[in-house]
Copies of this chain bind each other. A is one copy, B any other.
């Protein structure tokens, strides 16, 4: 059978094999360094380290996670004493998410592990080619979101 001849390898890429491998590598490296975070939890913290006090909806938008996913991620991070929900005074629907001192203090060590993992993932790859990968993935993402 050969229906997917020309696009087969491309499918392998979009299917997420490499993404899964990166996810595993990051998790492994977190554990090696006694950081008990998942990739998704880290992604949330990454937004908060730049933009503390934003709403859950903002976190959803910036991480491409749906709202129920954010609710549960924040639940976990709250249990781990890394973030806190603060109800907004003006709009009672909103919950503003703030970092705890612990949530702030782990930034540096976490980012060292993230950057080392990333550096290892892209070792020996030419920057111009990485640039093409970035641009192409952005275009594919836009193609998928803006349905033809």
Contact = CB atoms under 8 A, between A and B. Distances in A.
B23 A115 contact: no
Given A3-B115, A11-B114, A13-B137, 5 more contacts: A7-B115, A21-B145, A24-B144, A122-B143, A133-B137
Specify the main secondary structure of chain A where it touches its partner.
helix
A123 B137 contact: no
Interface of A: 1, 3-4, 7, 9-11, 13-25, 39, 43, 46, 49-50, 64, 107-108, 111-112, 114-115, 118-125, 129-130, 132-137, 139-141, 143-145, 147-148
Contacts of A15: 19, 22, 39, 43
Copies in the complex: 2
Contact of A132 (B50, B122, B132, B145): B132
Contacts of A10: 118, 122, 130, 133-134
